[in-house]
Amino acid sequence: MILKHISLITAIIASLFLQLPSTQAAPRANYEIKQEAVPQTARLDEQITLKIVLSASVSSRGGSYSTNYYDKFNPPSLSTNFKIVDSSQSTRRHLGINNNNYFQSFSHVFTYMLQPKKQGNFVISPASMKIKNRVYRSNHIKITINPPRKSPQAVLQGKEPDLSQEGDQFVQAFVSKKEVYLGEPIIVSWSAYTFSRHTDFASSDLPEAPGFFSKSLYKKRRSYQMERVRVGNTLYLRTLLYQRVYWPQKSGELTIGKRVVNLQTRNFLLSSSKPLIRTSAPIKIKVKKLPSKNRPPSFKNDNVGNFDMTIDLADSSIKANEAIDLEIFISGEGLLTAISSPKLPQLPWARIEKNGNPSYEEKIERNNKIKITGKVTLKYILIPQKSGSFTFPALEFHYFDLETASYQTAKTKPRKLTVAPSPAGNKNNNNYHKQSGVIATDGGEENTLAPKLKPVRVKTVKSSSLKARFFSATVFKFVLFGPPVIWILLSIFLLARKKYNEDKTGIARRKFRSTQKNDLKRLKIYLKQNRKSDFYSVLSKVIIDAVSQATQCSAHGLTNQELKVRLLESGASENLIKQIMETLDTFDFARYTPDNLEHNLEMENSLKEARKLLSRINKI
């Protein structure tokens, strides 16, 4: 019977053996590389986004596979016709299971922002990747670069935009004034005129503005207000994108450079967004010198605006050789962070010393016109060295008033002070009396009666009533008031914790402080171990991290010019920027200098100077 079916049994066994290798076979993989450019037809002043996608699809009965599926990647040659403005990378992964088969797909995306160098028709050559001695190539892309679009000329605030742009979407720059005095503020606004709404926040780098100090009048993230306006015969949606105030720091003809703005617009709710890149024209500003007529000898060029000055000087309980606070308040409209402090008098009966750094308050008023007002507090201590009656003289602060185009002087009133002699005995004797429990009178004699006086003893008599005991007990008060108080405190705690977690800026600031604290601990260890190279490497990192925190962008990898622009935008002075550049150059040079007997002392001095510099950077 078995012999009759021997052929059938043989066929079944053979089929099982033939299927076995297929279940143990290596995973099947498909690889692909492709590139796409948006837009493929652009103008010379616009940017192009090039994306190169390296993808792999793997199918197998089990196992996990690494995303590093390619051995080598070669991007296309771009340097001839395009400039790479920015680049980034991202990785995506997807995993699925079907009938005990694992399906995995990987994608590695390289993104390049390209700026055309010249107009014409170009071809972006294929990119390639190498996998196990096999080369995969992408498609090539044809790019057409047309002549640059004419940028709209800047116009005065309140005027109509450049009518030559009618019929096209554009970004218009409005300027409050085109002719100003040295130190006089200029308000520059950039508005987008588009046919459809924006789908995302506009992105743009700050325009180059050598000779200016500038500050943004808006936060980085805010809601856009759009309004419908008519320019000529065309209806637009106008959106105020950016607004900055510029203070010229030197006279002559200065230029606020062109601004390139990247927008995303969408015609309908469900339609895809379209990239829109527009450029505004440079702004020419004529800066006049401050007049020399009636110029006070002690006037400083930074004191431009409208100011008032007061002082706060305690005039009671003043004793010789004891310090009292002296605060000078300068308030008004102008660049308060740059003004020079008034000249302090030389007093024969006292000395004046600085007490910490100035503190600043700033407010932006948006009534009929934009005004930046504020208050700066200069802190000093006054130490009388003689007793008697004296007069603290009036202080003078000279400034140039823009409304009257003349020099003005803010004055304080003289203050009469009475300085009492120093207390009898020195500080050590007073401390001794306090520690020994002996109480001294104004005449310095011991109060012998005080130790004999004792407080009156009061005995509390409790009621015998159980009800009275309950209602007078602490437990009743806790039962009555405890739950609502606990509920209020818990609500306050939960609200505070929610705000604490939502404060992304605060979280980043605390993380930065923690990192800086750890780096400073490492510096102390490297200093003890005489590890000079590691010491200066970490010290440079601490400075650059502080600059990154102050400018709200990574300062690592920036050129000196880019770093200077970022610092100027954040409100750093020219003196501070120069000190940062020189300090980083010094640390970089010190890393590779040969060791000597005094290098440990130099490291200690470098750490002290770096701490002083960090305190200045953290106050930007």
Q: Rounded CA gap, 544 and 567, in Å?
A: 12
Check whether residue 87 and residue 199 sit in a common domain: no
488/268 Cα distance (integer angstroms): 47
Domain boundary among the residues 224, 257, 288 is at 288
User: Is residue 5 one of the residues assigned to a domain?
Assistant: no
Domain identity same for 514 and 554: yes
What confidence score (pLDDT) does residue 362 get?
Answer: 87
Task: Answer whether residue 604 is part of any domain.
Answer: yes
Helix (H) or strand (E) holding 586: helix 574-591
Range of the domain at 176: 155-288
Strand-pair category, 179-181 with 283-288? parallel
- Over its C-alpha atoms, the chain yields an Rg (Å, rounded) of 37
- Is residue 391 within 8 A of residue 416, CB to CB? The reply is yes
Is 258:151 a contact under the CB 8 Å cutoff? yes
What is the predicted pLDDT for the residue at 431?
41
Regarding whether 131 and 160 lie in a shared domain, the answer is no
Backbone angles phi, psi at 72, to 5 degrees: -155, 145
Q: Which H or E run contains 512? A: helix 504-528
* C-alpha to C-alpha distances, 515 to 65, 177, 415, nearest whole angstrom: 35, 45, 48
Q: Is residue 59 packed enough to be buried (19+ CB in 10 Å), middle (13-18) or exposed (0-12)?
A: middle
Strand order in the sheet with 82-98: 28-38, 48-60, 101-116, 82-98
Question: Does 452 fall in a domain?
Answer: no
Q: Show the tokens assigned to 302.
A: 């930074």
Is residue 532 domain-resident?
Answer: yes
Residue 164 and residue 83 share a domain: no
The CA angle 70-75-80, to the nearest 5 degrees, is 170
- Cβ atoms of 227 and 237 within 8 Å: the answer is yes
- For residue 445, the SS3 value is coil
Structural domain includes residue 585:
yes
Structure tokens at 467: 């009800």
Task: Out of 387, 419, 451, pick the residue that ends a domain.
Answer: 419
Residue 8 lies in a domain: no
> Residues 113, 86: contact at Cβ < 8 Å?
yes
DSSP result, 546-569: HHHHHHTS--TT--HHHHHHHHHH
Q: Are residues 212 and 134 in the same domain?
A: no
For the record, the structure tokens of 501 come out as: 């977690």
CA distance 162 to 170: 10
**Domain presence at residue 494:** no
Q: Which residues pair with residue 37 across a beta bridge?
A: 50
Pair (192, 164) in one structural domain: yes
Residue 586 in contact with residue 607, Cβ under 8 Å? no
- Does 185 lie in the same domain as 117? no
User: Tokens 């935009």 map to which residue?
Assistant: 161
Residue 166 and residue 279 in one domain = yes
**Which CATH number covers residue 392?**
2.60.40
pLDDT per residue over 101-146, tens digit each?
Answer: 666 777 888 999 898 988 899 999 999 988 888 899 999 999 999 9
**Of the candidates 247, 415, 445, the residue with the CA atom closest to the CA atom of residue 324:** 415
CB-neighbour burial class of residue 397 (10 A; exposed 0-12, middle 13-18, buried 19+): buried
- d(C-alpha 359, C-alpha 342), whole Å: 16
- Choose among 99, 129, 121, 133: nearest CA to 41: 121
pLDDT for position 438:
38
Contacts of 193 (CB under 8 A, 6+ apart): 161, 165, 169, 170, 171, 172, 229, 231, 236, 237, 238
Within 10 angstroms of residue 265's Cβ, the number of other Cβ atoms is 19
Segments of the chain scoring below 70 in pLDDT = 1-28, 60-68, 95-103, 220-222, 267-273, 315-316, 424-473, 475, 503-505, 557-559, 589-599
Residue type, 131: I
- The angle formed by the CA atoms of residues 137, 139 and 141, to the nearest 5 degrees, is 140
CATH number of residue 82's parent domain: 2.60.40.740
User: In the structure encoding, which two tokens stand for residue 454, read together?
Assistant: 């004792």
Residues 163, 184 within the same domain: yes
pLDDT tens figures, 494-530: 888 877 777 666 777 778 888 888 888 888 888 888 8
Structure tokens at 591: 């890393």
Note the pLDDT of residue 183: 93
Reference 35, options 125, 138, 157, 136; nearest CA is 138
Whether residue 516 is found in the same domain as residue 398? no
Please indicate, yes or no, if residue 18 is contained in any of the structural domains: no
**433: phi then psi, degrees, rounded to nearest 5:** -60, -40
Q: Among the three residues 404, 419, 434, which one is the final residue of a domain in this structure?
A: 419
Q: How far apart are CA 213 and CA 250, in angstroms?
A: 10
Are 542 and 520 in contact by the 8 Å Cβ rule? The answer is yes
139 with 164, same domain: the answer is no
The reported pLDDT for the residue numbered 295 is: 93
Number of structural domains the chain divides into: 4
Residue 169 and residue 128 share a domain: no
pTM: 0.54
DSSP state, residue 206: P
